[in-house]
Amino acid sequence: MFVNSLYFVISNELTSESIVSEIKINEQHAVFEGHFPGSPVMPGVVQLQIVKEILEAHLRRKLAMKTMRTCKFLEVLNPRENPNVRINIKYKQSEILDVVASGEAPGKVFFKMQASYL
């Protein structure tokens, strides 16, 4: 949905239970026209969607969020100030996919979340 338009994956480090993706945000994307003109801010729901898209690409299947245990937005993600973001994802797969994820740049943590997907 947003990959290769709003953000581009620069690199991935993969293990059997984790993904670390370096992404570059396209500050010219239309999402920033309304959020907010002249002072772009990455919407929180979009940050969560990026986590889901990275997981779906890695696992090669569609996911649906079942529960959100915690979600905290700790810093404003302005793509002009922080165009490169590291998405850290740890997951355990069973009947339900349990996920702990964060979005970070040097010295900043933009969000932390814990969720379950089907």
Q: Give tens-digit pLDDT for 18-33.
A: 999 999 999 999 999 9
pLDDT given at position 29: 95
pLDDT given at position 36: 86
User: Which stretches in the chain have pLDDT values below 70?
Assistant: none
DSSP-assigned states of every residue in the chain: --BTTTEEEEEEEE-SSEEEEEEEE-TTSGGGTSS-TTS----HHHHHHHHHHHHHHHHTS---EEEEEEEEE-S---TTT--EEEEEEEEEESSSEEEEEEEEETTEEEEEEEEEE-
pLDDT given at position 35: 86
